[in-house]
Amino acid sequence: MCGIVGIIGNKPIAEDLVEALRRLEYRGYDSAGVATVEDGKLVRRRAEGKLRNLEKRLLSDPLQGHIGIGHTRWATHGRPTEVNAHPHMSATVSVVHNGIIENFRALKEELTACGHVFESDTDTEAIVHLITDEMQKGASPTKAVEHALSKLQGAFALGIIFSGDEDMMIAARKGSPLAIGHGKDEMYLGSDAIALAPFTPEITYLEEGDWAVLRRSGVEIFDVESKPVKRQAIRSVASSLMVDKGNHRHFMAKEIHEQPEVISHTLANYIDMSKAKVVLPDLGVDLVTLPRVTISACGTAYYAGLVAKYWLEQIARVPVEIDIASEFRYREAPMPPGGLAVFISQSGETADTLAALRYCKAKGQKIASVVNVRTSTIARESDSVLLTLAGPEIGVASTKAFTCQLAALACLAIGIGRARGTISREQEIAYVEALLEVPRLISALLAEDGQFNDIAQHLSQARDVLYLGRGVSFPLAMEGALKLKEISYIHAEGYAAGELKHGPIALIDENVPVIVVAPEDELFPKTISNMQEVAARGGQIIMISDADPVAAGCEQAIHISVPKVNPLASPLLYAIPVQLLAYQTAVSRGTDVDQPRNLAKSVTVE
């Protein structure tokens, strides 16, 4: 994680570095810093906490350099203190780093033995001393970096500047994304194109193992063997406008309310409206004989994948294997020839998901990704891409990206089902119509968001909360629990309703709210039985349902009413109350909803 930027400009660039960092704060916000070269010397400003602290620091103590690097941190090695904040530097070299240097302990021991003094607990500082050491032995800055890179194990995106040189910055990429921006007599560096959008739309993405020397006049790029290479410059579509909260108090609220619109856009990408027909990109596999779909993702994206497992098995009758990416990549799961591997990711940069993708590619699987960022590494390394059109998601808690993932995955299941002949044309039309109804039903639900206030107020006092669901509602229960814990810091767990009596029921007493995701589908009677088991033990039931709890014999339940919907589409609709409950509970508790503690939006380390 962490975001890095660099600018070689023609005026003092500290303010522009901060502007670029603001657009990368989604990658971490434990501390921030910038370094420039002034009168030939390296100078830096750093601050603990959010970027606004660095801004204050720069106001009272400005920097004048025309070349500089910047960093926003998500702590991996060392506490989020100023001393551990990037840039790290010696008198000769200053470095910003995204990633993890796995062999930093060995390097630190070696360098300390040679007289280098470390001031921080970070892995990054080893890079500074490594380059400094090479230069002290007489290497030029470029040779010193080249030698240092060959000694680094792990993942990194680096921005490096040197004292005495106001026209050279070195960038390097291994395992972490890095984009170079081309300006007029100016050059830029950033973890993504969004960071560079205010300055230039002309972007070159470094490829795995590349390193580059940037000067005002242009860039020279070298591959992993340090051979000069050409990498194409593209025109980025990232918006230069900073996304704002509109009339909402938080990005998360705005993003929840954007769902009717962005789900419509995503559905329109895969549905031919005039024919009520799903149109998929070429997935590169024979769908009729497709032996298996393997799904891998992390966090909320994984829960979208779990819903897709139900859909793909029920609608397309294709076996589905699914696992969280951090486990999957080490399991050495056998892969059938002709199989399709699907990776789901909002950012398209999640390190574990990317590693799982590369594992499946090496095993001969065709790779499809469901991503929200067209230019992301996962998208670029996939054979086919199902883009979600959620737009930039800024709140750390994923909301609109999740429902757009569900929309794309529902279309995937329907499209594969049609190709395999497991659903008829009439069923396809019925499914498509059900999906197209979702944006309107979500709007209706959002218009009634006042119904969540009292319940959220009540939830905000709880220490533990359980979420239950069956079938496609089981992943929704887990998503509800994840959403609540990540932004309100209340302990929450999601369970399959039928699993309750095998252990978790021991937790139930009058202080534990139990939120049941209970659409009136064919599993509803069984879910009701599980609710009765909770009620019999004094648990407080909050029933999210299109059915009347009294008619269902569960009169003691607090009811969150949801419009009726075709069961296929219920996960998209039931995601909304689950998100609103978490959001309003967090607001009641006064937490930092958009940037909850310890988290980052894009998790680019293992």
Catalytic (active-site) positions:
2, 601
Rounded-to-integer distance, Cα 521 and Cα 315, Å: 16
Q: Give least dist CB 480 to ligand M6R, A.
A: 11
Question: Could you say whether residue 594 binds ligand M6R (CB under 6 A)?
Answer: no
Q: Which of 124, 350, 382, 540 binds ligand M6R (CB under 6 A)?
A: 350
d(CA 85, CA 46): 6
Which among 484, 454, 453, 455 has a CA at the least distance from the CA of 467? 484
User: Under the criterion CB under 6 A, does residue 375 sit at the interface with ligand M6R?
Assistant: no
Residue nearest to ligand M6R (CB): 299
Name every residue whose Cβ is closer than 8 Å to that of residue 546 and which is 6 or more positions away in sequence. 519, 520, 561, 562, 563, 564, 565
DSSP readout, 378-404? HHHT-SEEEE-------SSS-SHHHHH
Q: What residues numbered 24-53 form the site for ligand M6R, per CB under 6 A?
A: none
Please identify, among the stretches 200-208, 226-234, 267-275, 339-347, the one whose residues bind ligand M6R according to the rule CB under 6 A: 339-347
Angle, to 10 degrees, between the axis of helix 14-22 and the axis of helix 51-60? 170
Nearest residue to 202 via CA among 210, 193, 211: 193
Cα 19 to Cα 13: distance, rounded to the nearest angstrom: 10
Stretches 243-251, 392-400, 512-520, 545-553: which one binds ligand M6R (CB under 6 A)?
392-400
Q: How far apart are CA 421 and CA 581, in angstroms?
A: 40
Could you tell me which of 105, 108, 100 has the C-alpha nearest to residue 128? 108
Residue from 603, 604, 605, 606 that binds ligand M6R (CB under 6 A)?
603
Least Å from the CB of residue 172 to ligand M6R? 23
Judged by beta carbon, residue 487 or residue 496, the one nearer ligand M6R is: 487
Q: Which stretch binds ligand M6R (CB under 6 A): 22-30, 42-50, 294-302, 555-563?
A: 294-302
**Judged by CB, which is closer to ligand M6R: 187, or 603?**
603
> Among 267, 283, 396, 514, which residue sits at the site for ligand M6R (rule: CB under 6 A)?
396
Nearer to ligand M6R by Cβ, of 414 and 482: the residue is 482
- The Cα 232–Cα 495 span in angstroms is 48
Q: Give the residue with the Cβ less far from ligand M6R, 127 or 478.
A: 478
Should residue 353 be labelled a site residue for ligand M6R when binding is judged by CB under 6 A? yes
Q: Taking CB under 6 A as the rule, does residue 298 contact ligand M6R?
A: yes
Among 76, 345, 369, 591, binds ligand M6R (CB under 6 A): 345
Q: Is residue 486 within the footprint of ligand M6R (CB under 6 A)?
A: yes
* Number of residues engaging ligand M6R in binding (CB under 6 A): 16
Query: Which lies closer to ligand M6R via its Cβ, residue 221 or residue 301?
Result: 301
**Strand partners of residue 514:** 466, 541
d(CA 482, CA 323): 17
Q: Which residue of 36, 98, 236, 346 would you call a contact of ligand M6R, by CB under 6 A?
A: 346
**Using rule CB under 6 A, residue 236 touches ligand M6R:** no
Q: Could you tell me the smallest distance in angstroms from the CB atom of residue 600 to ligand M6R?
A: 8
556: enclosing H helix or E strand: none
160, 301, 477, 547: which one contacts ligand M6R (CB under 6 A)?
301
Q: Rounded CA gap, 233 and 499, in Å?
A: 53
- Spatial separation of the C-alpha atoms in residues 292 and 320, rounded to whole Å: 6
Q: How far apart are CA 280 and CA 19, in angstroms?
A: 38
Smallest distance from ligand M6R to CB 306, Å: 13
State the residues that interact with ligand M6R by CB under 6 A: 298-301, 345-347, 350, 353, 396-398, 482, 486, 602-603
